[in-house]
Amino acid sequence: MRQNKNRLLSLMIFFAIAVIGCGTDKTTDILKQDIAYLKSQIADIQKSNTDMEVKISGIENKLQHFEDKSKDLENQLFNLSAKVEEGPIIELPVEEKAAPPPQPEVKEIPPPPKEEIIPESPKPEKIESVPVQEKKEDELKSLAGLSPEELYKKAYNHFIRGEHDKAIANFRIFLDNHPEDTLADNSQYWIGECYYAKKEYTVALSEFKKVVEKYPKGNKTPDTMLKIGYVYNELGDKKSAIKELDDLIKRFPKNKAARLAKEKIKNIEIGK
């Protein structure tokens, strides 16, 4: 009886070992399958990463293109915002011009008689005209008689319309008659802007420097320093341009002109 029990126990142990052996083989197969699957997943991920890198590179190129465009737009917006700060165009009353004097009626001269007697030609009537110098003096007197705000707006309206020579003349009259007014530094600044728009960069540089020298604490100093950097760059003096823009960033780090100065320095350094 005891022997039968031992035999039965032995059979059970042998059967358990066989089952465990079978189970181990299956587990190994499953592990191999999992490893193969993971390898394929890793390969797919690596391929996806390569495709993603190509896409990212394309996106970076597009972003650089948009960034370059945004820099140009920022410069345009800066000029527009400066104009907006000065206020809208004020339509000043147009001076009525005197009607031109009536011209003498031209009568047809009859042909000379056969005796070939040449009649005396009629003397042209003298048309009295106001001397040009006198007109200019009258205009200067009328402008000088305007209030500082009216004269400034009149000059600024000329600038907005692209009438740069008239704007320069009016701003100079403002400075001659109101040198201590709060708009004096603005007037000097816009004289520089007029010459900059006309691409007369050497004169523009001289006019812009007057703003910094005469009105160092004025509200136009940051914008003026920015434009001085721009002018140096247009004249081909990259070193002076970067120095002026660096000084602007140090003196007015939170001003919008400082942000534009940083962008300009980057463009100068990469040769744009």
Residue range 227-245, pLDDT digits in tens: 999 999 999 999 999 999 9
Distance CA 112, CA 201 (A): 64
pLDDT confidence band for 42 (50 / 70 / 90): confident
pLDDT tens by residue, 99-114: 555 555 545 555 555 5
- Phi/psi of residue 167, each to 5°? -65, -45
Distance CA 253, CA 222 (A): 10
Across 66-84, average pLDDT: 64
Where helices occur in the chain by DSSP H, the ranges are 2-85, 132-144, 148-160, 164-177, 184-197, 201-214, 221-234, 238-251, 256-269
pTM: 0.55
Across 12-24, average pLDDT: 51
pLDDT confidence band for 59 (50 / 70 / 90): confident
Q: Which of 195, 103, 95, 211 is nearest to 154 (CA)?
A: 95
pLDDT confidence band for 148 (50 / 70 / 90): very high
pLDDT tens by residue, 193-212: 999 999 999 999 999 999 99
Average pLDDT, the chain: 77
Distance CA 147, CA 60 (A): 55
Q: Which amino acid is at 167?
A: A
Q: Which amino acid is at 32?
A: K
pLDDT, position 249 = 97
Distance CA 187, CA 220 (A): 10
pLDDT, position 144 = 80
Residue 95 pLDDT more than 70? no
Q: Which of 165, 130, 129, 166 is nearest to 151 (CA)?
A: 166
Q: Quick one: 152 exposed, middle or buried, by C-beta within 10 A (0-12, 13-18, 19+)?
A: buried
Across 163-176, average pLDDT: 96
List Cα–Cα distances, 119 to 112, 113, 223, 247, in angstroms: 7, 10, 72, 81
End-to-end Cα, the chain, rounded Å: 104
pLDDT, position 30 = 76
Distance CA 177, CA 43 (A): 81
